């Protein structure tokens, strides 16, 4: 008798719990609107991607992506909140709904996409692994590097790459493994190792900031692997994923059409059908995303187009001075390509 | 028959002893402390050589060639010495992290209140119930300042807290919550009620068997997985609770050591007078225990202060994490050592003050022993 009562009580509690979960099946957009804030997980320790400026505010292309989504979904790019995540905590933070999206330069790979219950949105930055050496070594290609000491971050993609490259070419090397990226740069530029292996963006920013004379170093022409990095959202919320995707594409399309944060108000009068649809003066594109029609206008007005954001955070307007390279518009031979706004 | 001489005294005067050596002369002091024998002389020579090699270089780096203030990192690049200019350039982010820039004055007030009241609390003449009242008022003030939302203060979420205010609030919260919890756990562990004792033993042993980082990871990553979807408990609060529980487990073992040091007679005497359990503990046993455990408790407290740096791992910007983030700025990243030295001095001053204070209380409490 007592057993039955206990079982009934347990069943009741379980049912109640399930009901409670059901009642909360809000979409991410609804949650975000109710909270009036978009919460993004960001790394916080990668200059140009995400980090704190002198006022303690988040800056970088990742932070700007988050602001663009806030501008689209909530009408104000300032309605963002950043949670610092590390490479160990970032996926859990997203899975547990602690953040609405990750803007933490996560590389898009099949295994991550399929096994983590996550969806990758449009990449905002394309990177690859490169090797950097001192110019006076006279090295022209990775094949000349037999017996080199290599500075490498443990557990990183670079560590795997360097092993693959040297094995493929039948060369020997001595790894110098240093955990901290800053220390790794110091070690290389103080001559602790011959070769620095990292993402090309990491190499050039390291060269621009940590080397006493940046011209003394060259990045070898071989670029290995693909590192497409973009925002990540939870799987199973197609609407939110669309919003994040198209917020990114809106910035890219704006650059392609020549719409900038400065001229966006004039562009609203433009007769060009593409621009009119992008800025919401014709068509109902915003509605189909669950937003209003001015969503893309606000992104461009408040955050800027892709080119502006890139130059401000990583390019000429930043201390990193990265070249656009493969992150140029497709018309200029790069990979930045927004699907049509139709 | 001649008398037998059984005295061993010599019939002559003993030779005069040399006058006592002067012990206040420089040469004597040097000889006694540094050149007592060959080994000591060699060590002295080695130490002198080491100082000779390092100190001038250090002084040149840290003072002579240092750049004390500039807004242009290129000046630092041109100089051969330390770039202390990174501290005036970045101190706001280092000390306040993500705390909103315009509201930093609130952070300053919080630091002033916590440090000021802590300093006042070290004066024994002021130990009274009023001090407790003052701490309660201060706690209210600190949370009002940090959270805002009343008196026209802009509301600030705990996710924006950072820097020294975060470190101090976390530390004070840990100690203030952890010591009573630790005492209860210690009493529970020695309790004769098996359920309570087993619970306390289990808790203490589990927590002590885990690294703090794991406990924090549990609190920040695993815990939300068990919560129903959409329900999140504030991250700062989770970290604070984890830190407090961790501290409590260690404090409990310290207190238990003290409880065991109290002679059985004290317990029996209290029982004989007819005191109940709580009267016995609060009036007879615990006051003696706290006196005994003070040095090791202070040790734990200082450690708890340094442990606050662990919250950086779960994404809260304590002073250390705020600093390491601030110096990622590509323009200044080269001068991270100077920034870390500044934080080193900050931690050292605070910890050293605590340790000195504990020494003084120990001396005061030992009066009459």
Number of domains in chain A: 2
Residue A3 lies in a domain: no
A50 and A103 inside one domain: yes
Q: CA-CA distances (angstroms) from residue B322 to A50, A157, B163, B241?
A: 14, 27, 6, 21
Q: Residue A45: its pLDDT value, please? A: 79
Rounded to the nearest integer, the mean pLDDT of chain B is 86
- Which residue, of A226, A257, A291, is where some domain finishes? A226
Q: Residue B229: its pLDDT value, please? A: 63
Residue A15 lies in a domain: no
Distance of CA B323 to the CA centre of its chain: 19
Q: pLDDT, tens digit, for every residue of B77-95?
A: 777 888 888 888 888 888 8
Name which of B186, B305, B306 is nearest B250 in CA terms. Answer: B186
Q: CA-CA distances (angstroms) from residue B115 to A152, B138, B172?
A: 43, 11, 10
Q: Beta strand pairing status for B317-318 and A148-152? A: unpaired
A291 and A153 inside one domain: no
A242 and A122 inside one domain: yes
Q: Would you mind telling me the total number of residues written for chain B in this entry?
A: 369
Q: Residue A18: its pLDDT value, please? A: 44
Residue A102 lies in a domain: yes
A318 lies within 8 A of chain B by CB = yes
Rounded to the nearest integer, the mean pLDDT of chain A is 85
Q: Residue A308: its pLDDT value, please? A: 94
Distance of CA B57 to the CA centre of its chain: 31
Residue A135 lies in a domain: yes
CB contact under 8 A, B101 and A56: yes
User: What are the start-end ranges of the E strands in chain A?
Assistant: 38-42, 51-52, 58-59, 80-84, 101-107, 118-120, 125-134, 148-152, 173-177, 195-199, 217-234
Q: Give the CATH number for residue A69.
A: 3.40.190.10
Does the domain at residues B100-365 carry the CATH identifier 1.10.3720.10? yes
- Which residue, of A196, A226, A256, is where some domain finishes? A226
What is the rounded distance in angstroms from the CA atom of residue A233 to the CA atom of residue A246?
Answer: 13
Q: What does the DSSP assignment read for A109-130?
A: -HHHHHHSSEEE---SEEEEEE
Instruction: Give the residues of chain A that fall short of pLDDT 70.
Output: 1-25
Q: What is the span of the domain harbouring residue A141?
A: 128-226
- Which residue, of A226, A258, A286, is where some domain finishes? A226
Q: Residue A205: its pLDDT value, please? A: 78
Q: Could you tell me the pLDDT band of residue B246, with boundaries at 50, 70 and 90?
A: very high
CB contact under 8 A, A318 and B330: yes
Q: pLDDT, tens digit, for every residue of B106-157?
A: 889 999 999 898 888 877 777 788 888 888 898 888 888 888 888 878 888 8
Q: Residue A69: its pLDDT value, please? A: 95
Residue A304 lies in a domain: yes
CB contact under 8 A, B101 and A20: no
Residue A72 lies in a domain: yes
Which residue among B221, B313, B328 sits closest to A47, beta carbon to beta carbon? B328
A213 and A326 inside one domain: no
Q: pLDDT, tens digit, for every residue of B286-331?
A: 888 888 888 889 889 999 999 999 988 888 888 998 888 888 877 7
A248 and A221 inside one domain: no
Domain boundaries, chain B: 100-365
User: Measured between CA atoms, how close is B148 to chain A, in angstroms?
Assistant: 17
Chain B interface with A: residues with Cβ < 8 Å: 77, 89-90, 92-93, 96-101, 157, 159, 162, 217, 220-221, 224-225, 227-232, 235, 313-317, 321-322, 324-331, 333-334, 336
Q: Residue B17: its pLDDT value, please? A: 87
Report the SS3 class of residue A236. coil
Give percent of chain B above pLDDT 70. Answer: 97
Looking at residue A174, the DSSP 8-state letter turns out to be E
Cβ atoms of A237 and A28 within 8 Å: the answer is yes
B3 versus B168: which is more confidently predicted?
Answer: B168
Name which of B282, B214, B283 is nearest B246 in CA terms. Answer: B214
Q: pLDDT, tens digit, for every residue of A208-225?
A: 777 778 788 888 877 788
């Amino acid at each position: 008798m007592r057993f039955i009562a206990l079982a009934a009580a347990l069943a009741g509690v379980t049912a109640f719990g399930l009901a409670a979960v059901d009642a909360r099946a809000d979409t991410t957009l609804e949650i975000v609107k109710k909270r009036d804030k978009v919460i993004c997980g960001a790394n916080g320790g990668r200059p140009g991607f995400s980090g704190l400026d002198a006022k303690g505010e988040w800056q970088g292309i990742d932070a700007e992506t988050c602001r663009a989504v806030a501008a689209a979904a909530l009408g104000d790019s300032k309605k963002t909140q950043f949670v610092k995540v590390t490479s160990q905590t970032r996926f859990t933070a997203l899975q547990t709904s602690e953040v609405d999206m990750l803007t933490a330069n996560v590389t898009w790979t099949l295994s991550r996409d399929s096994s983590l219950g996550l969806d990758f949105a449009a990449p905002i930055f394309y990177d690859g692994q490169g090797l950097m050496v001192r110019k006076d070594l006279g090295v022209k290609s990775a094949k000349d590097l037999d017996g080199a000491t290599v500075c490498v971050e443990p557990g990183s993609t670079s560590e795997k790459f360097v092993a693959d490259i040297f094995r493929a070419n039948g060369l020997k090397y001595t790894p110098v493994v240093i955990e901290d990226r800053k220390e790794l740069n110091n070690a290389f530029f103080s001559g602790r190792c011959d070769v620095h292996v990292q993402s090309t963006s990491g190499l050039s920013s390291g060269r621009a900031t940590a080397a006493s004379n940046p011209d003394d170093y060259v990045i070898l022409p071989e670029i290995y692997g693909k590192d497409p990095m973009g925002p990540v959202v939870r799987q199973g919320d197609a609407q939110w994923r669309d919003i994040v995707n198209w917020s990114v594409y809106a910035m890219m399309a704006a650059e392609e059409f020549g719409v900038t944060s400065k001229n966006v108000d004039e562009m609203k009068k433009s007769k060009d059908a593409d621009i009119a649809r992008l800025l919401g003066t014709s068509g109902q594109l915003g509605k189909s995303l669950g937003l209003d029609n001015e969503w893309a206008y606000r992104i461009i007005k408040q955050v800027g187009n892709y080119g502006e954001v890139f130059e401000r955070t990583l390019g000429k307007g930043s201390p990193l001075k990265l070249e656009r390279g493969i992150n140029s518009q497709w018309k200029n031979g790069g990979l930045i390509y927004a699907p049509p706004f139709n | 028959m001649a008398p037998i001489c059984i005295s061993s005294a010599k019939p002559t005067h003993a030779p005069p002893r040399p006058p006592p050596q002067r012990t206040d002369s420089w040469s004597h002091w040097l000889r006694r402390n540094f050149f007592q024998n060959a080994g000591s002389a060699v060590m002295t020579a080695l130490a002198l050589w080491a100082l000779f090699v390092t100190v001038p270089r250090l002084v040149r780096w840290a003072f002579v060639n240092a750049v004390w203030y500039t807004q242009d990192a290129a000046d630092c690049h041109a100089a051969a010495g330390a770039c202390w200019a990174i501290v005036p350039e970045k101190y706001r982010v280092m000390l306040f992290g993500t705390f909103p820039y315009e509201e930093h004055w609130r952070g300053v007030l919080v630091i002033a209140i916590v440090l000021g009241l802590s300093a006042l609390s070290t004066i024994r003449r002021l130990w009274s119930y009023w001090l407790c009242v003052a701490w309660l008022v201060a706690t209210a003030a600190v949370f009002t300042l940090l959270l805002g939302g009343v008196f026209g203060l802009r509301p600030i979420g705990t996710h924006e807290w950072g820097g020294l205010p975060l470190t101090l609030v976390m530390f004070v919260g840990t100690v203030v919550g952890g010591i009573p919890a630790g005492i209860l756990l210690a009493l529970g562990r020695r309790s004769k009620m098996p359920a309570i004792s087993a619970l306390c033993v289990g808790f203490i042993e589990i927590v002590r068997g885990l690294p703090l980082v794991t406990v924090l990871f549990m609190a920040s990553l695993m815990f939300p997985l068990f919560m129903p979807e959409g329900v999140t408990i504030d991250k700062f609060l989770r970290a604070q609770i984890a830190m407090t529980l961790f501290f409590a487990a260690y404090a409990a073992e310290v207190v238990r050591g003290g409880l065991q040091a109290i002679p059985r007679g004290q317990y029996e005497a209290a029982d004989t007078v007819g005191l109940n359990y709580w009267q016995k503990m609060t009036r007879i046993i615990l006051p003696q225990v706290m006196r005994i455990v003070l040095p090791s408790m202070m040790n734990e407290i200082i450690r708890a202060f340094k442990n606050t740096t662990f919250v950086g791992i779960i994404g809260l910007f304590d002073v250390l994490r705020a600093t390491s983030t601030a110096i990622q700025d590509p323009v200044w990243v080269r001068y991270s050592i100077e920034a870390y030295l500044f934080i080193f001095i900050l931690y050292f001053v605070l910890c050293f003050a605590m340790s000195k204070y504990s020494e003084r209380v120990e001396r005061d409490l030992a009066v009459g022993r």
